[in-house]
Amino acid sequence: MSWLDELETKLEQELERFLAANPDQEALLQDQEDRDHRRELLSQRRSLQNQAERQRHGLLQLAGEIRQWQERCRKARAAGATDLADRAEAHLEALMQQGRRRWQELADLGVRFAEVEQAITALAARQAEARRSSQGVDLEREWAAFEAEQELERLRRRQG
């Protein structure tokens, strides 16, 4: 193990000890990590949306090109230019294959988008749960302080 690995291990252990001794700091650290993760997920979602939009635009252009080559194939066949029609049909088939590949890429983007959306939803639920539980802890602390203050007042009245 190199000295850098040893240093990293020691720092990790110190951080774990510190966080165990200071649960409020651990909650703050987790909250910051969650915010950073959410920001990253939202960035991924925007990127996927932009990629999908470019993919859709490319598909529309390709569809226009396919229609154009279908018409050219029809005209060449009608004119008896068999060799030209065969080459045009080969080009048309290549365009169709490209279209199928692009549709699959768009579908894959949709799957990735759904995964990111699911991760955003799960993170939001976890953050909401953390807020609810921290509110419960705060309420417990406030209640304990209230009871201690009440007991202190009772003792003062008894003595004074």
- Please count the structural domains in the chain: 1
Distance in angstroms (rounded) separating the CA atoms of residues 59 and 44:
22
| pLDDT band with cut points at 50, 70 and 90 for residue 149 | confident
In a domain, residue 37? The reply is: no
pLDDT at 130 over 80: no
Cβ neighbours, 10 Å, residue 61: 10
Tell which residue, 29, 32, 39, has the closest CA to residue 119.
39
pLDDT at 24 over 80: no
Cβ neighbours, 10 Å, residue 95: 17
In a domain, residue 136? The reply is: yes
Q: Is 22 helix (H, G, I), strand (E, B) or coil?
A: coil
In a domain, residue 11? The reply is: yes
Q: Residue 144 gets which letter from DSSP?
A: H
Range of the domain at 145: 3-23+51-159
In a domain, residue 119? The reply is: yes
In a domain, residue 137? The reply is: yes
In a domain, residue 43? The reply is: no
In a domain, residue 7? The reply is: yes
Give residue 41's pLDDT. 95
Q: Does the pTM of the predicted model rise above 0.75?
A: no
Average pLDDT score over residue span 4-17 = 90
Average pLDDT, the chain: 90
18 to 5, 28, 109: CA distances (angstroms):
20, 13, 42
Tell which residue, 48, 69, 57, 64, has the closest CA to residue 102.
57
pLDDT at 63 over 80: yes
Quote the crossing angle between the two packed helices 82-159 and 23-78, to the nearest 10°.
160
Give per-residue pLDDT as tens, 73-119. Answer: 999 999 999 999 999 999 999 999 999 999 999 999 999 999 999 99
